[in-house]
Amino acid sequence: MKMLIELAHFALILAAVVAVVQMIIPMIGAQTDRRNWMALAEPAATSQVILVGFSFAVLMWAFVQSDFSLALVYQNSHTAKPLLYKISGVWGNHEGSMLLWVLILTIFGASAAWFGGGLPEKLRARVLSVQAAISVAFYLFILLTSNPFDRLAVPPLNGLDLNPLLQDPGLAFHPPFLYLGYVGLSMAFSFAVAALIEGRVDAAWARWVRPWTLAAWVFLTIGIALGSWWAYYELGWGGFWFWDPVENASFMPWLIAAALLHSAIVVEKREALKSWTILLAILAFGFSLLGTFIVRSGLLTSVHAFANDPERGLFILIILGVFTGGALTLFAARTNTLEAKGIFGAVSRESGLVLNNILLAVSAFVVFVGTIWPLVAEMAFGRTLSVGPPFFDAAFTPFMVALALALPFGSMLTWKRGSLRSAWLKLWPFAVLAIALGTLVYALQSGRSALGPVGLALGVWTVTGALVDLTTRTGSGSLPERMGRLTRLPGADWGKATAHIGMGVTIFGVAAITAWQQEDIRIAQIGAPYDVGGYQFTLDAVETVEGTNYISTLAQISVRDRIRVVATLSPEKRFYPVAQMPTTEAAIRNGFLRDIYVVIGDAQAEGAYTVRVYIKPFANWIWGGAILMSLGGFMSLLDRRMRLAAGAAKRRKAAA
């Protein structure tokens, strides 16, 4: 069985060789019109999936079996660890996560080969060739700097265990979703570069790029939401976003991908904004690579501790430079060949989407500048400084507010030439409603900031705006007629409304929790009740309990409202002996309107304990909104028109 690991290593090397072939031959084939050269791309892409899939399966098997002759398993696993975390341990470290990264990369590439029957032959060959070039870079990176199959001459008896913070269901699935998102954007990149080489971008091209970008964006949304949700319940004070460099690294591609999604619609429907869309496609993947660089190089101090290594950082910097730089150079050389056909007026759906793109791209740029500024300031001006949440809150938020304000208008305008007046005629009652609700809440809350009311007004405005847009699509007529049409609206319309509602919900959730959170930190005596935010809390008992691979200080806290016991919560403080690390496990009573969040702290004199209690209003709306956004994206993906190109291919085959 030990042979398997050597075989897996060999399979990875072989996959790299196949990728080199797939990078060169189909591209030459496309340039010189050789059909059989181009045809090589598809079997090559499939072979890559099989080879890397085998490699990855063996690594996973080694983790499950706790094969400590592998250095990676020794460093990141332990026999006492639950099975789920043995498996998630495969990508809970640098080497394994890079292997997962290339596995996803090859699967995306092969999908273009498998489902790309409707693509023009040359475009497909070029896309697969560019995709293979990206694979080659990452194979080299793994094989030369981060080999997951390194062996130990003398296998130790047991491993060093996975970082306890990572032993969590939320975090087990956070990285795979992020990688699906990051790597999914490589498809948009490959399509963009292939189109630049071909010198042609048309509606069909956009129709092909959109589902890939949409899928990547949905995955990124889920991945970011999972990470944020994890931070909320794991880090012990219920923070959900910290503007940490690594968070920003995932947020920048998300923002750019969101812009790309919208501009690709304009290319598809109106054949305008072509160069801009290509640029966004390049930047989206560029930011993904930049994110990888930030995470793996350790250049920027972050709470995300990966095994940092300057050599690896340099390697990824080279990959980033070659691909982004190369693509941008190609873009500069070829962009004037992309002629816009569609003409549109200053007030039109197209202009609305241009504004959306400007706001999203500028906000991504603000995040970018803030993230790298400490580096720039140190190298260029000799100033050691920090850029933290207060900067981002101040510099980023205005653009999101503008986006939310403009969204209902933009989505209601018609293509080519719209009328703000007719949009306003449908929207004004809801603007009044939003402002009225905001004012009411402002009056009710005494002496607090305007953040909550403004967030509420924005949320109401965005959500009702999306609903008005949806009902407008049913046209005129009697209510039953319109209801009937509503159910028959295409998936994309429902997806658009759902995603926009999700954005409104998230905006409200973030504003509400930030503005209205209540906090109480005290030394609590066992059995002595006290009040926080309309609830009565009692620390009933504290005991020491032994878990599978940790020891826990387990508290029991009962929560009462005026009438009855609302919840009995059991916050824990765990200690993982193998990793020598403590973690807090907050106990949370989730609710639609508020979360009750309690944390047990250290033992104090006379059997008392430090207890932290938070009332977090509308906390779940933050992730609820993210779920709605990704659901919206998913609904659009299912739209028949999104698959039209694939359908056309099938019909062609049937006719032949």
Partner 1 sequence: MLRLFALLVVLAAPVWAVEPHEMLDDPALEARARVLSMGLRCPVCRNESIDESSATLAADLRVVLRERLAVGDSDAQAVDYLVARYGEFILLRPDTSGANRVLWAAGPLLFLSALFIGWRTVRRRPEPVVESLSAAEQAKLDKILRN
Residues near partner 1 (CB under 8 A) are 236-237, 239, 242, 244-245, 301-303, 305, 343-346, 350-351, 354-355, 358-359, 361-363, 365-366, 369-370, 373, 377, 380-381, 383-391, 394-396, 399, 521-523, 544, 546, 551, 553, 573, 575, 577, 580, 582, 584, 599, 601-603, 610, 612
With both helix axes pointing from N to C terminus, report the angle between 169-198 and 326-334 in degrees, rounded to the nearest 10.
Answer: 40
Helix (H, G, I), strand (E, B) or coil at 588: strand
Residue placing its CB nearer to partner 1 in the complex, 392 or 461: 392
CA distance 393 to 534: 30
CB 136 within 8 A of CB 16: yes
Residue placing its CB nearer to partner 1 in the complex, 68 or 399: 399
Residue placing its CB nearer to partner 1 in the complex, 217 or 344: 344
Secondary structure letter of residue 525 according to DSSP: P
CA distance 207 to 622: 31
CA distance 441 to 448: 11
Shortest gap between Cβ of 1 and partner 1 (angstroms)? 32
CB 405 within 8 A of CB 356: no
Shortest gap between Cβ of 114 and partner 1 (angstroms)? 39
What are the C-alpha distances in Å from 120 to residues 29, 547, 563? 14, 58, 69
Residue placing its CB nearer to partner 1 in the complex, 536 or 610: 610
Structure-token pair, residue 152: 């130990």
Shortest gap between Cβ of 395 and partner 1 (angstroms)? 5
Residue placing its CB nearer to partner 1 in the complex, 335 or 610: 610
Shortest gap between Cβ of 191 and partner 1 (angstroms)? 23
Residue placing its CB nearer to partner 1 in the complex, 477 or 577: 577
Shortest gap between Cβ of 507 and partner 1 (angstroms)? 19
Name 616's bridge partners: 595
Shortest gap between Cβ of 550 and partner 1 (angstroms)? 9
Structure-token pair, residue 36: 């059989």
Shortest gap between Cβ of 580 and partner 1 (angstroms)? 7
Residue placing its CB nearer to partner 1 in the complex, 250 or 584: 584
Secondary structure letter of residue 158 according to DSSP: S
Name 581's bridge partners: 576
Residue placing its CB nearer to partner 1 in the complex, 487 or 544: 544
Amino acid at site 377: A
Shortest gap between Cβ of 374 and partner 1 (angstroms)? 9
Shortest gap between Cβ of 601 and partner 1 (angstroms)? 5
Residue placing its CB nearer to partner 1 in the complex, 144 or 603: 603
CB 487 within 8 A of CB 529: no
CA distance 541 to 558: 10
Shortest gap between Cβ of 127 and partner 1 (angstroms)? 29
What are the C-alpha distances in Å from 562 to residues 534, 539, 566, 570, 597? 8, 17, 10, 21, 19
Shortest gap between Cβ of 221 and partner 1 (angstroms)? 23
Amino acid at site 40: L
Secondary structure letter of residue 474 according to DSSP: T
Helix (H) / strand (E) element for 333: namely helix 326-334
Q: What phi and psi, each to the nearest 5 degrees, are found at residue 328?
A: -70, -35
Shortest gap between Cβ of 134 and partner 1 (angstroms)? 29
Residue placing its CB nearer to partner 1 in the complex, 169 or 577: 577
Residue placing its CB nearer to partner 1 in the complex, 71 or 235: 235
Shortest gap between Cβ of 386 and partner 1 (angstroms)? 5
CA distance 354 to 337: 21
Name 583's bridge partners: 574
Neighbours of 650 (CB within 10 A): 12
CB 70 within 8 A of CB 149: yes
Residue placing its CB nearer to partner 1 in the complex, 340 or 433: 340
Neighbour-count burial of 463, counting CB atoms closer than 10 A to its CB (0-12 exposed, 13-18 middle, 19+ buried): buried
Name 546's bridge partners: 551
Amino acid at site 243: W
Secondary structure letter of residue 159 according to DSSP: -
Nearest to 332 by CA among 259, 255, 279: 279
Shortest gap between Cβ of 274 and partner 1 (angstroms)? 12
Residue placing its CB nearer to partner 1 in the complex, 64 or 526: 526
